[in-house]
Amino acid sequence: MNWDDTTDAEAAAERLVGAVADGEDQAVEAALRPKDLGEFIGQEKVREQLDLVLRAARARGATADHVLLSGAPGLGKTTLSMIIAAEMEAPIRITSGPAIQHAGDLAAILSSLQEGEVLFLDEIHRMSRPAEEMLYMAMEDFRVDVVVGKGPGATAIPLELPPFTLVGATTRAGLLPPPLRDRFGFTAHMEFYGPAELERVIHRSAGLLDVGIDTTGAAEIAGRSRGTPRIANRLLRRVRDYAQVKADGRITQEIAAAALAVYEVDVRGLDRLDRGVLEALLKLFGGGPVGLSTLAVAVGEERETVEEVAEPFLVREGLLARTPRGRVATPAAWAHLGLTPPRPQSSGNGQPDLFGA
Ligand SMILES: Nc1ncnc2c1ncn2[C@@H]1O[C@H](COP(=O)(O)OP(=O)(O)OP(=O)(O)O)[C@@H](O)[C@H]1O
Ligand SMILES: [Mg+2]
């Protein structure tokens, strides 16, 4: 799967079902983060592979290989990086690609690492080129060349680094230059979570937040969480508010459904924007094909908002298809909004319509 379509427009859109962390998320997430691999829910393959990598390193008394974590926002990359440090009983230093403007910034961080330390480099695809090139050498040879002076008189002073583990995280693995990608000993691709896994995330978080919830309540929230633990935790907090104000504080299926109806998050996790786009496509354009600009005007949104914020999830859910002729609704879209598709018109060439009945 490709999530290179998570963009600044998505980040800018404050929405209950947005996958990018908002201020409140950041404040509570620390408390909800699993602390070790055993507590980390789902991602079976990644967990199994990472467990082997870390165990082997521990058995050798060595520093673990560099790890690249790739996946959509809110799936647990930051959480896993902290777990890696905890499992290795190593300290962790946290920085991000955009924070490293100059190679010198990186040199300063690298040269102050302790032996075995985990360096977490979030949004690694947003690092500057010179910093990236310095990182190549640091990862491979645990060495950097610090350039002193400018112009013809500049000299490179080699500096030995202690062995460390780089944990890189990216929502856009496709943007990483191959030489950087190749220097990671292990790449973990994080997938979206299934409903059963999200239910476990919700039960676990409810326990930590001291909120009563039954299995039907957790299932109701899980189904609307778009495969993303961060969204599950956020919806849980909003449902908890509702349960406290409107009921006895305990979350049941009825309470969860009523609360999320108030917030306009439907049973599949579509919000007002998503439904607006689908409704326009179905009701105004008979299910398409219709051009992006026309669709955007019809819902009163910017092109970018429709394309980058609403569409990726609609496409992932199989509700909308992007075709060369424009946006097209799938039969599932008609079913989801409880509408009947128009009778397929004969195209005269004897071929059935793409999504005709
Ligand atoms: N496997 C999991 N089990 C339980 N909780 C999880 C899991 N993965 C993520 N979470 C929860 O989801 C929240 C978001 O996770 P995290 O911050 O690690 O995501 P991320 O992939 O780093 O997102 P971003 O790309 O925005 O940085 C955390 O608060 C964490 O509690
Ligand atoms: Mg993160």
Give the pLDDT score at 353.
Answer: 55
Per-residue pLDDT band at 321 (split at 50, 70, 90): very high
Considering every ligand atom shown, identify the ligand nearest to the alpha carbon of residue 73 and give its number.
Answer: 1
Nearest-CA residue for ligand 1 atom 1 is: 41
- Over residues 150-180, the pLDDT tens digits come to 888 888 889 999 999 999 999 988 889 999 9
Alpha helical stretches, state H, the chain = 8-12, 23-32, 44-60, 77-87, 103-111, 129-141, 178-182, 195-209, 215-223, 229-246, 253-262, 272-279, 292-299, 303-304, 311-316, 331-336
Distance (angstroms) between ligand 2 centre and the Cα of 191 equals 15
Which residue do the tokens 């910017």 mark?
Answer: 302
Residue 79 Cβ inside 6 Å of ligand 1? The answer reads: yes
Average model confidence (pLDDT) across the chain: 91
The whole-number average pLDDT for the span 68-77 is: 96
**94 Cβ partners below 8 Å, 6+ apart?**
81, 120, 122
- 3-class SS at 287? coil
Q: CA separation (Å) from 240 to 25, 202, 235, 237, 325?
A: 15, 12, 8, 5, 44
Going by DSSP bridges, is the β-strand pair 165-170/155-160 parallel, antiparallel, or unpaired? unpaired
Q: Among candidates 321, 76, 32, which has minimal Cα distance to 193?
A: 76
Give the pLDDT score at 6.
Answer: 52
Q: Among candidates 36, 22, 72, 12, which has minimal Cα distance to 316?
A: 72
Q: Which range has the worst mean pLDDT, 4-13, 45-54, 136-145, 317-326?
A: 4-13
- The domain spans of the chain are 33-189, 195-262, 272-336
CATH architecture of 195-262: Orthogonal Bundle (1.10)
Catalytic residue of the set 15, 172, 226, 230 = 230
- 122 is annotated as an active-site residue: yes
Catalytic residue of the set 15, 63, 122, 170 = 122
Residue 33 Cβ inside 6 Å of ligand 1? The answer reads: yes
- 230 is annotated as an active-site residue: yes
Nearest-CA residue for ligand 1 atom 15 is: 76
Give the pLDDT score at 4.
Answer: 45
**348 Cβ partners below 8 Å, 6+ apart?**
none
* 272-336 is classed CATH 1.10.10.10: yes
The type of residue at 245 is V
- 214 is annotated as an active-site residue: no
Answer yes or no: are the C-beta atoms of 17 and 271 closer than 8 Å.
Answer: yes
* Packed helices 272-279 and 292-299: angle between N→C axes, nearest 10 degrees: 120
Nearest-angstrom CA–CA distance, 146 and 154: 10
Ligand 1 atom closest to residue 122's alpha carbon, by position in its atom list: 27
Answer yes or no: are the C-beta atoms of 240 and 211 closer than 8 Å.
Answer: yes
Tokens at 228, concatenated: 């993303």
- Over residues 79-128, the pLDDT tens digits come to 999 999 999 999 999 999 999 988 889 999 999 999 999 999 999 999 99
Residue 41 Cβ inside 6 Å of ligand 1? The answer reads: yes
CATH number at 33-189: 3.40.50.300
Q: What is the ipTM of this complex?
A: 0.98
Per-residue pLDDT band at 1 (split at 50, 70, 90): very low
**195 has a pLDDT exceeding 60:** yes
Distance (angstroms) between ligand 1 centre and the Cα of 78 equals 6
pTM: 0.90
The type of residue at 121 is L
Catalytic residue of the set 15, 63, 77, 228 = 77
Same fold, 195-262 and 272-336: no
Residue 170 Cβ inside 6 Å of ligand 1? The answer reads: no
Ligand 1 atom closest to residue 190's alpha carbon, by position in its atom list: 21
| DSSP assignment string, 74-129 | TSSHHHHHHHHHHHTT--EEEEEGGG--SHHHHHHHHHTPPTT-EEEEETGGGS-H
- Give phi and psi for 124, each to the nearest 5: -65, -20
Ligand 1: residue of 3, 33, 70 to mutate (most ligand atoms within 8 A of CB) is 33
> Can you say which residues are annotated as belonging to the binding site for ATP?
32-33, 74, 77-79, 140-142, 183, 193, 230
> Can you say which residues are annotated as belonging to the binding site for DNA?
303, 322, 327
Tell me the HSE value of 217 on the side-chain side, using a 13 A CA sphere: 24
Give the pLDDT score at 137.
Answer: 92
Per-residue pLDDT band at 342 (split at 50, 70, 90): confident
Instruction: For the chain, give the percent of residues with pLDDT over 70.
Output: 92
Q: Quick one: DSSP state of residue 63?
A: P
